[in-house]
Amino acid sequence: MTVDKQRFDRRDSVEAHEIILGLLGDDAVRETSLPELDRTPAPWESSMQATVECLSWRNVWDNLERRQTEDALGEDIYREFPVHTRSAIATAHTLLDRGVIDPDELQAKMREVRARFEGD
């Protein structure tokens, strides 16, 4: 699969932000306490880190681009998201912005994953 490496444009990302924000559960809050920062990552977080490392390794989305995307999203977009979700949010924004996935696909996959976790 070839991915167009367009530069992140915040104006084009408003729709992506609204879609992603709508996928947050009601219990998703941003933690600012030190105990939260010292916790052990959840399995999905480790998987997410491995995913972004693989994207970098395959020259699809390198770590510098990811960091620039996270910086571009900044506090105005990130403020609604828990700190540990930022890699996932930046990745979702990039995949939506590049047309790798569309909003309907993302929403369907999130419903599928959420149903799987609720069934456990």
Q: Is the pLDDT of residue 90 over 60?
A: yes
Give the type of residue at 81.
Answer: F
Residue 36 lies in a domain: no
Give me the long-range contacts of 17-21 (CB less than 8 A, separation at least 24).
Answer: 17/77, 17/93, 19/96, 19/103, 19/106, 19/107, 20/89, 20/92, 20/93, 20/106, 21/80, 21/81
pLDDT of 108 above 90: yes
Residue 51 domain flag: yes
Mean pLDDT of 6-19: 60
Calculate the CA 17 to chain-centre distance. Answer: 10
Interior angle at CA 48, CA 47 and CA 51, nearest 5: 90
Domain membership of residue 62 (yes or no) is yes
Domain range for 81 is 10-22+43-119
Q: What is the pTM of this model?
A: 0.62
Residue 7's pLDDT is what?
46
- With both helix axes pointing from N to C terminus, report the angle between 63-78 and 86-97 in degrees, rounded to the nearest 10: 100
Q: How many distinct structural domains can be found in the chain?
A: 1
Domain membership flag for residue 81: yes
